[in-house]
């Protein structure tokens, strides 16, 4: 599609404005959008987050015709997974737990990893040992052992799946441990 303003460049920005019940749709190139004073809230984001998220929504098996019952909803704030992919922002900390099952591929695309390895709020000193640079694999194993000991089998199954993905990635043969 060609930009509506300059009629030369490819339109990359699509806007819908509703003013006094009048709906106005615009398709503009980046230059003309900037000239009209439109800036994407994601302008400062260093990579195409919006595309990752919307691409993800498109490729998800249930995305084209999301049945409300298939959508995940954060019980704490009411944000749905579909809304999250649209706005690219979580509304509260609970959203992460609510969408956990679908966040791993998103985090991998964004960060190239899906598990935290940095500081933990429980360590309140500054010495470097506190950072505990544990590898994803080791950390998952430890978590898994803990989950099994606590008989939290739902969490254990989740961790086992993650462990499998991590091992596939680093090329470790999965042993029949656990």
Residues that bind other proteins (CB under 8 A): 44-47, 49, 77, 79, 88-93, 96-97, 100, 103, 106-107, 110-121, 124, 126, 128, 131, 133, 136, 143
Q: Cβ closer to other proteins: 23 or 149?
A: 149
The distance of closest approach from Cβ of residue 112 to other proteins in the complex, given in angstroms and rounded to an integer, is 6
Q: Cβ closer to other proteins: 82 or 114?
A: 114
DSSP assigned state of 44: T
Q: Cβ closer to other proteins: 27 or 102?
A: 102
Yes or no: say if 87 and 99 are a contact pair by the CB < 8 Å rule: no
Q: Cβ closer to other proteins: 68 or 121?
A: 121
Yes or no: say if 137 and 117 are a contact pair by the CB < 8 Å rule: no
The distance of closest approach from Cβ of residue 142 to other proteins in the complex, given in angstroms and rounded to an integer, is 11
Rounded CA-CA distance 131/140 in Å is 17
The distance of closest approach from Cβ of residue 13 to other proteins in the complex, given in angstroms and rounded to an integer, is 18
The distance of closest approach from Cβ of residue 18 to other proteins in the complex, given in angstroms and rounded to an integer, is 19
Q: Cβ closer to other proteins: 21 or 44?
A: 44
Yes or no: say if 74 and 95 are a contact pair by the CB < 8 Å rule: yes
The distance of closest approach from Cβ of residue 28 to other proteins in the complex, given in angstroms and rounded to an integer, is 19
For helices 153-170 and 100-111, give the axis angle rounded to 10 degrees.
Answer: 20
**Distances in Å between the alpha carbon of 12 and those of 1, 52, 60, 88, 140?**
8, 16, 24, 18, 42
The SS3 of residue 159 is: helix
């Amino acid at each position: 599609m060609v930009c509506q303003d300059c009629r030369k460049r490819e339109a990359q920005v699509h806007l819908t404005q509703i003013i006094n019940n009048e709906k106005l749709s615009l398709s503009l190139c980046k230059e003309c959008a900037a000239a009209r004073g439109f800036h994407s809230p994601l302008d400062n984001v260093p990579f195409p987050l919006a595309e990752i998220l919307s691409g993800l929504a498109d490729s998800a098996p249930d995305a084209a015709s999301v049945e409300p019952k298939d959508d995940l909803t954060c019980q704490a704030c009411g944000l749905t997974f579909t809304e999250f992919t649209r706005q690219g922002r979580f509304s509260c900390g609970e959203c992460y737990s609510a969408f956990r099952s679908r966040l791993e591929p998103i985090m991998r695309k964004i960060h190239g990893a899906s598990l935290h390895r940095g500081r933990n709020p429980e360590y309140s000193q500054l010495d470097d040992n506190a950072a505990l640079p544990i590898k994803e694999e080791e950390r998952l194993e430890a978590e898994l052992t803990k989950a099994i000991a606590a008989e939290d089998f739902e969490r254990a199954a989740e961790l086992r799946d993650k462990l499998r993905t991590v091992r596939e990635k680093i090329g470790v043969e999965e042993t029949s441990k656990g």
